[in-house]
Structure 1
Amino acid sequence: MALSGKRVFQFEIKSSGNLFHELWKTKPHELPSLTPTTIQNCQVLDGQVGTVGSILLWNYFHDGKDCVSKARIKDINESKKSITFEVLEGDVLEQYKTFISHVQVDKHGSNNLVSWTVEYEKLNPNIPDPDTFMEICKQMAKDIETHHLQN
């Protein structure tokens, strides 16, 4: 059984892909109000939000418990409308040696396609793949889409 892997989730949105990208890049502190069942808080610990190297502290709800994650913005690609986060500390690292999340928005006809990719390395072969984390991504995408379409 492989310890390293990758999971991908795609979600078509009718709202602006630029708004979605900017939200993750420069306004992550707004996510708790948009996704209250998933994200409770996001704050900048170091650096400036929207810049590579800045460190964010996330409080979120996962598998029935409150969790914490300290993540660094590893990469921002404006032409691809993507942002990459690398988890440095937190609950997820109790099961995974590495955990990197990519959020990207692509034009797909008249709509936009949000892609979430999670790259990970398990601490041991008994650890499950991070499918429940992908469920969080799906819920966040749906919540953000619902909010943007209502406004």
Structure 2
Amino acid sequence: MSLVGQLETDVEIKAPARKFHDVFSCRPHHISNVCPEKIQGVDLHEDGVPEVAKEIIEAIDDENNSTSFKVIEGHLLEKYKNFHLIVQATQKEEGSLVHWILKYEKVSEDIPEPKGMLKLAIDVTKDIDAHLMEQAN
């Protein structure tokens, strides 16, 4: 069993790709205002259990509406030696497609895949989309 893994998901949203990307690339500190029940600063709340993660932005690709993050401190690093998140928004004819990639290396074989983090990414994407669409109206 490999300790290195990757999870991916796509989420369709109504907001333009550029606006969604701007939240992560230019205003990540506003995410806690958009979905305070899930993210409070760098405190991630998943299944009622507070998780703390400190991330840095590794790369911003404005041309491809992509932002890459690396977890540098917190609870995730108790389970994973490395944890990276990549979020990319692609414009469609109507709305956008948000693609998440979670790359990780487990500290041991008995650590589960971070499916809760993937669900959190999906939920945060939907909250940000709803917020952006509310602002547009």
TM-score (norm 2): 0.93
Per the alignment, residue 131 of structure 2 pairs with 147
Per the alignment, residue 111 of structure 2 pairs with 127
Q: Which amino acid aligns with 1:136?
A: L
Per the alignment, residue 10 of structure 2 pairs with 10
Per the alignment, residue 46 of structure 2 pairs with 62
What CA RMSD, in Å, does the superposition of the two structures yield over aligned residues?
Answer: 1.1
The offset of 1:62, in angstroms, is 2.0
Question: Using the alignment, how far apart are the partners of 2:92 and 2:19 within structure 1?
Answer: 16
Of 106, 109, 118 in structure 1, the residue corresponding to residue 93 of structure 2 is: 109
Per the alignment, residue 53 of structure 1 pairs with none
Per the alignment, residue 22 of structure 2 pairs with 22
- The answer on whether the counterparts of 2:16 and 2:91 sit within 8 Å (CA) in structure 1 is no
Runs of 4+ in 1 over 3 A off after TM superposition: none
Question: Using the alignment, how far apart are the partners of 1:148 and 1:76 within structure 2?
Answer: 20
**Identity level (%):** 33
Matched residue SS, 1:142: helix
Matched residue SS, 1:36: coil
Per the alignment, residue 79 of structure 2 pairs with 95
TM-score (norm 1): 0.85
- For structure 1, the 5+ residue unaligned runs are 42-57
The number of aligned residues is: 135
